[in-house]
Chains A and B, each alone.
Chain A
Amino acid sequence: MAFLPEEIIRNILVRLPVKTLIRSRCVCKHWRNLIRSPSFISDHLHHSSTHRNPSVLLQRRNHLWLLDCKMRPHEVNISPLLDSPNTFQIVGSSNGLLCVRIGRYSEFYPSLLLWNPATREVRQLPPNTPNAKGVHLPLSIGFGFSPVINDYKVVITYHYLKVINFDPVYPFYPLLVLVYSLSSGLCKKIEFGVKDVVLGYESVTVNGIMFWSGRRRNPDVKTYYYAIVSFDIANELFTLIPTPDWSTSTSRLTMYENKLAVLSFFATQDSESLIELWVMEDGSGASWGKKYSSCLIPSVVRPVMTIWMNQIVCDGSKWERYQEPKITLLNISANELKVFNISKCGRGTGCGFILHHTESLVPIGE
Chain B
Amino acid sequence: MSSSVEAITVLSSDGDEFKITVSAAKLSKPLNWMLEDVCFSDDCDEVPTIEVNSKTLVKVIEYCEKHAPRANSGASDSDAEELKKWDIEFMKMDVKDILFHILMAANYLHMEGLYDLACQTAADLMKGMTVSQIRKIFHIKNDFSSEEQEQLRRQHPGCSFD
A344 located at the interface, meaning its Cβ lies under 8 Å from any Cβ of chain B in the complex:
no
Shortest CB-to-CB span from A19 to chain B, Å, is 8
Considering the chains assembled together, what is the distance between the CA atoms of A22 and B159 in angstroms? 9
A2 located at the interface, meaning its Cβ lies under 8 Å from any Cβ of chain B in the complex:
yes
Given contacts A2-B104, A4-B104, contact A15 B120 (CB under 8 A): yes
Quick check: A8 and B103 within 8 Å, CB to CB? yes
Quick check: A28 and B144 within 8 Å, CB to CB? yes
Given contacts A15-B119, A24-B134, contact A8 B140 (CB under 8 A): no
Interface of chain A residues 1 through 25 with chain B (CB within 8 A) = 1-5, 7-9, 11-13, 15-17, 20, 22-25
Shortest CB-to-CB span from B107 to chain A, Å, is 6
A26 located at the interface, meaning its Cβ lies under 8 Å from any Cβ of chain B in the complex:
yes
Considering the chains assembled together, what is the distance between the CA atoms of A26 and B159 in angstroms? 9
Quick check: B161 and A26 within 8 Å, CB to CB? yes
B38 located at the interface, meaning its Cβ lies under 8 Å from any Cβ of chain A in the complex:
no
Shortest CB-to-CB span from A122 to chain B, Å, is 15
Residues of B within 8 A of A3 (CB): 139
Quick check: B104 and A17 within 8 Å, CB to CB? no
Count A-B contacts at CB 8 Å.
Answer: 70
Considering the chains assembled together, what is the distance between the CA atoms of A151 and B127 in angstroms? 31
User: Of A1, A16, A23, A30, which is within 8 A of B139 by CB?
Assistant: A1
User: Of B96, B103, B131, which is within 8 A of A23 by CB?
Assistant: B131
Quick check: A12 and B123 within 8 Å, CB to CB? yes
Quick check: B127 and A16 within 8 Å, CB to CB? yes
Quick check: B139 and A28 within 8 Å, CB to CB? no
Quick check: A2 and B135 within 8 Å, CB to CB? no
B100 located at the interface, meaning its Cβ lies under 8 Å from any Cβ of chain A in the complex:
yes
Considering the chains assembled together, what is the distance between the CA atoms of A128 and B23 in angstroms? 66
Nearest B residue to A4 by beta-carbon distance? B100
Nearest B residue to A15 by beta-carbon distance? B123
Residues of B within 8 A of A11 (CB): 115, 119
Q: Interface residues of B, CB < 8 Å — how many?
A: 28
Residues of B within 8 A of A17 (CB): 127
B86 located at the interface, meaning its Cβ lies under 8 Å from any Cβ of chain A in the complex:
no
Which bracket fits the contact residues of A?
A: 20 to 34
Quick check: B152 and A26 within 8 Å, CB to CB? yes
B18-49 vs A, CB cutoff 8 Å, 1 = contact: the mask equals: 00000000000000000000000000000000
B110 located at the interface, meaning its Cβ lies under 8 Å from any Cβ of chain A in the complex:
no
User: Of B104, B144, B161, which is within 8 A of A8 by CB?
Assistant: B104
Considering the chains assembled together, what is the distance between the CA atoms of A34 and B96 in angstroms? 22
Nearest B residue to A21 by beta-carbon distance? B126
User: Of B100, B130, B142, which is within 8 A of A2 by CB?
Assistant: B100
Interface of chain B residues 110 through 162 with chain A (CB within 8 A) = 115, 119-120, 122-123, 126-127, 130-131, 134-135, 138-144, 152, 156, 159, 161
Quick check: A8 and B156 within 8 Å, CB to CB? no
Given contacts A2-B104, A4-B100, A23-B156, contact A28 B126 (CB under 8 A): no
Quick check: B126 and A20 within 8 Å, CB to CB? yes
Binding site for B on A (CB under 8 A): 1-5, 7-9, 11-13, 15-17, 20, 22-31
Binding site for A on B (CB under 8 A): 96, 100-101, 103-104, 107, 115, 119-120, 122-123, 126-127, 130-131, 134-135, 138-144, 152, 156, 159, 161
Given contacts A12-B119, A22-B159, A26-B131, 15 further A-B contacts (CB under 8 A): A2-B104, A12-B103, A12-B126, A13-B123, A15-B119, A20-B126, A23-B134, A23-B159, A24-B131, A25-B152, A26-B152, A26-B156, A27-B138, A28-B140, A28-B141
